[in-house]
Structure 1
Amino acid sequence: MPFFRTATEVAAEIRRGTLSSRELTEELFARIDASDVNAVVATRRDFALETASKADAADGGGPLHGVPMTVKDAFAVAGLATTWGEPAFADAVADRDAVVVERLQAAGAIVVGKTNVPHLLADFGQTVNPIYGRTVNPRDHTRTPGGSSGGAAAALAAGLSFLEYGSDLAGSIRIPAAYCGVYGLKPTPGTVPLRGFQPPGPPAEPAREFPSAVGPLARSAADLRLALSVTGGPLTPSRRSRLADFRAGVVLDDPHCPVTGEVGTILSDAVDALAKAGVRIREGRPDGVDPVAQAEAFGFQVEWFFAAQEGREPPGADDQERRRAALGAAWARYFRDADVFLCPTVFTTAPKHDDRHRYDDQVFWVAQASLPGLPAVSAPAGGPRPAGLQVVGPAHEDDTAITFAELAADVVGGFVPPGE
């Protein structure tokens, strides 16, 4: 069975009748049962197999026709508990689907189950909780898959799902994608509806827009595009269609959060390969962007996000919003002369499991896109232990970042199954 194929490829084969959705789903469940990664933690088998049989009998279908996939535990999926890794929510079975799940299924996908998260999604370094335990990195079980979409990234890397959907406030899609060697997209905030992405309880409407988003993880950049268009609607076309036509800003290191030698070598080699392929490289950050101040301001936004869940607003919020608006304007000016900005997703490869460590330093690089609300793709950049190249695009031009990541795979390399 093609467990490491892309969702786009599998859907095409099921539509043609050269691959059975039912057989694929049955084999996928067997693979999940045999896995020791602990990535997929809840399944709805009868529903999935019945839906797969219907997909095989159908004439044609949507862009994700018959594709078995998973979503992060934090999304409501009818018939499954929405636990957020909290024992008090262990029996909180959803009676309806999140908007993301509704739209994926309308496109033909079969949401077969849910993937693991850290307790209350409060850790972007590891994925462990009191209900389901620890998820490990499929490439090295002694290392973390990251968080909070760690189960999502691990499931894709281990061949336990064909597509995933996660969430990203403080790098919770991009960091796990980098550690597990898959693709992850934080879309422009507001692109994909958030209804059904919350802990169990009455729906809560945020008082303001925070720089958080829900988005897809996949084994190819093309799958990111497909998943985003299905869940978020039509995309603004990419600025470029050929790699050699792209203008890319690049910063690969910073004294305030230096990358390891391993990551530095991988990303330097990747940028050299892109330059040889014709990408016009421009060193340096936008004028007026201080990465340290940006990381500190983003830390305030994260604290504000959690305070808002309790109905509080921290002091200094108005000033922080003015700073965020000024930063957005600086990036908008920058993208007049550049199409994408390239930087590390995180400064290290997947570290060893360590429950004593908060991993706060991992946020420095993802904050470059998160605070101004820019779309960003973490793309595999090679190496025996994967390193992520973060491709940041202009606001509301998500497909420009996706297309660059897609084309870059030809010279940098894309997803590689564990052990290959």
Structure 2
Amino acid sequence: MTSNSNGIGPVLAFASATELLDRLARREFTARELLEFHLDRLDRLNGSVNAIIFTDLAAARTRADAADAATAKGKRWGPLHGLPMTVKETNNVAGWPTTYGDPAMANFVPSRNAAVIERLQAAGAVIFGKSNVPLNALDWQSYNAIHGTTRNPWNLERTPGGSSGGASAALAAGLAPLELGSDAGGSIRFPSHFCGVFGHKPTPGIVPAFGNERNESLLDNDLVTSGPMARSVADLSLALEVVAGAAGPAAAAWRLELPKARATRLKDFRVSVITDSPVAEVDEPYRAAIRSLAARLRAEGAEVIEEALPFTDHAAHHTTYLQLLRGSASIRLPDAAFEDAVRRSAEPNSNASRYIWQTAQAYAQRHRDWLKAEEARARLKREWAAFFQKVDVVVAPATVCAAFPLDEARPREERLLRINGRDVDYNDQLFWAGLATLPSLPATAAPIGLVEGLPVGVQVIGPYLHDRTTLAFAAELERLHPFVPPPGFGA
């Protein structure tokens, strides 16, 4: 086995964070050596994928050296002691730019760390950089005018997903062993699926947004949550334990105690497997992979039912989700853009696409309309709770297809995807994101194999606050389909 100057073999580029931490604890190598190993790979390989777009190497080296000094004294900072990692660009790290890929925010530098960053550092992590996102974190491609285009390590002409696309590409390419992303519109689940890695969208509220507000805004959005991304489920669980729990004023009153997993072996799970939707049609090769998974689950002894959800009107579900998701973004619109949305929403014979018209309607909606949507959402949450008395998890597509070709010629609102031989609205994919986001449910993304040379995965959705159940089920999927490195990044 070849190795770099530190004697660390390239196979460790794709080791789990848990394995790296174990080997650090056994002093097989130092935190500084492990950091330099990843920085060497960053220098040689990041140029082709452009996953990591900001680094603070001097600070990272100083911190790695301090971790090694603590180790030499028999001290350990926490469960991530000495582990190098990166975080999604939208996370506030004191002294580092947080731009959301938006030239208007190019000079914004937060003065303090977000609570999740404080917790990662307190646990011993060596955060050495940030990973790329799309403009304003609003796309399933990760490119912007500040940092350029991030590419999928499996095929450089394909998207790695978004908005945590730099995170998924960095993990798949072996540039970082652990990442912190965020998700409201599939931003952890889509890129995990596209790049063949694992990701967890926690139950909203269990991972604090405190200090991680956009441009130091104080307004929270309960559709958005931060969550870990990694190359193993054990890493997701470890990172979630680090970052979850009350922060800020809430920390004075409550402590997080998540329920234990409903089951830990496939044969003990009750599973609903979803393969398609009339709102967001799934490409047949990907759908076939999910059907094959369902057959494997049965063979492993799981109780499997097919195409069962707590609702039947997919269009109504999607409309409510769009109304709340896009409506929550209206506060960030410039006044002129908001007035244009009001005008568009009132046009009876608009030639705009359904998605563009629905977005304008969401931006311009009256407060009473918003409350009606929240009422529908509250009803849906109760329906999901009743449904989860009959099943333990729902296994569903992460989106409509494997990683699709990069398309930067058109804005997201005007793009099309080729699905089952016909062009469909690119934005229909949001249905699959909303499946877990609208009812505030946890969802773990896990790979299930390759389709036409590209990785595909599923999202495992569980009951409210049952994050450990979705993680336990994903761990069983990992046993069947562990992380596989993309060709060309092993050196």
TM-score when normalising by structure 2: 0.82
Q: Give the whole-Å Cα distance in 2 for the aligned partners of 1:309 and 1:364.
A: 23
Q: Give the whole-Å Cα distance in 1 for the aligned partners of 2:61 and 2:328.
A: 39
Note the C-alpha offset of 1:79: 2.5
Q: Does 1:374 align with 2:425?
A: no
Determine if contact 2:205/2:222 at 8 Å carries over to the other structure: no
Q: Give the whole-Å Cα distance in 2 for the aligned partners of 1:319 and 1:394.
A: 24
Alignment of 1:30-45 (within 5 A): 30-35=40-45, 36-45=48-57
Q: Give the whole-Å Cα distance in 2 for the aligned partners of 1:253 and 1:63.
A: 40
Q: Give the whole-Å Cα distance in 1 for the aligned partners of 2:277 and 2:371.
A: 29
Task: List alignment gaps of at least 5 residues for structure 2.
Answer: 1-7, 246-256, 336-362, 413-425
1:115 corresponds to = 131
Task: List alignment gaps of at least 5 residues for structure 1.
Answer: none
Mean alpha-carbon deviation: is it higher for 180-189 or for 303-312?
Answer: 303-312
1:351 corresponds to = 404
Note the C-alpha offset of 1:171: 0.6
* Partner SS state of residue 87, structure 2: strand
Determine if contact 1:76/1:98 at 8 Å carries over to the other structure: yes
Aligned-residue identity in percent: 42
Counterpart amino acid of 1:409? Answer: E
Q: Does 1:49 align with 2:55?
A: no
Q: Give the whole-Å Cα distance in 1 for the aligned partners of 2:411 and 2:399.
A: 16
Q: Give the whole-Å Cα distance in 1 for the aligned partners of 2:160 and 2:280.
A: 21
Q: Give the whole-Å Cα distance in 2 for the aligned partners of 1:360 and 1:344.
A: 15
Alignment of 1:95-174 (within 5 A): 95-123=111-139, 125-174=140-189
Which residue of 441, 452, 467 corresponds with 1:398? 467
Mean alpha-carbon deviation: is it higher for 271-280 or for 65-74?
Answer: 271-280
Determine if contact 1:45/1:112 at 8 Å carries over to the other structure: yes
1:417 corresponds to = 485
Larger radius of gyration: 2
Q: Give the whole-Å Cα distance in 1 for the aligned partners of 2:449 and 2:182.
A: 24
Note the C-alpha offset of 1:19: 2.3
1:273 corresponds to = 296
Change over 3 Å in CA distance of 1:149–1:287 after alignment to 2: closer
Note the C-alpha offset of 1:103: 0.4
TM-score when normalising by structure 1: 0.95
Q: Give the whole-Å Cα distance in 1 for the aligned partners of 2:219 and 2:118.
A: 20
Which residue of 110, 120, 123 corresponds with 1:94? 110
For residues 299-341 of structure 1, give each alpha carbon's deviation from its aligned partner in whole angstroms, at most 9, with x where no partner exists.
1111111024469872211110110011000100011111100
Determine if contact 2:279/2:428 at 8 Å carries over to the other structure: no
Note the C-alpha offset of 1:60: 4.7
Counterpart amino acid of 1:203? Answer: S
Note the C-alpha offset of 1:89: 2.3
1:361 corresponds to = 428
Q: Give the whole-Å Cα distance in 2 for the aligned partners of 1:289 and 1:228.
A: 33
Change over 3 Å in CA distance of 1:340–1:46 after alignment to 2: same
Determine if contact 1:346/1:388 at 8 Å carries over to the other structure: no
Q: Does 1:342 align with 2:412?
A: no
Mean alpha-carbon deviation: is it higher for 358-367 or for 223-232?
Answer: 358-367
Note the C-alpha offset of 1:80: 1.3
Change over 3 Å in CA distance of 1:60–1:276 after alignment to 2: farther
Q: Does 1:205 align with 2:215?
A: no
Q: Give the whole-Å Cα distance in 1 for the aligned partners of 2:83 and 2:393.
A: 31
Note the C-alpha offset of 1:382: 0.4
Note the C-alpha offset of 1:289: 4.4
Note the C-alpha offset of 1:256: 3.1
* Partner SS state of residue 95, structure 1: coil
Q: Give the whole-Å Cα distance in 2 for the aligned partners of 1:286 and 1:34.
A: 46
Residues paired across the two proteins, number: 415
2:286 corresponds to = 263
For residues 171-230 of structure 1, give each alpha carbon's deviation from its aligned partner in whole angstroms, at most 9, with x where no partner exists.
111111111111111111111111232333x43223xx5322111111111111111111
* Partner SS state of residue 241, structure 1: coil
Q: Give the whole-Å Cα distance in 2 for the aligned partners of 1:317 and 1:281.
A: 37
Mean alpha-carbon deviation: is it higher for 283-292 or for 361-370?
Answer: 283-292
* Partner SS state of residue 111, structure 1: strand
Q: Does 1:232 align with 2:244?
A: yes
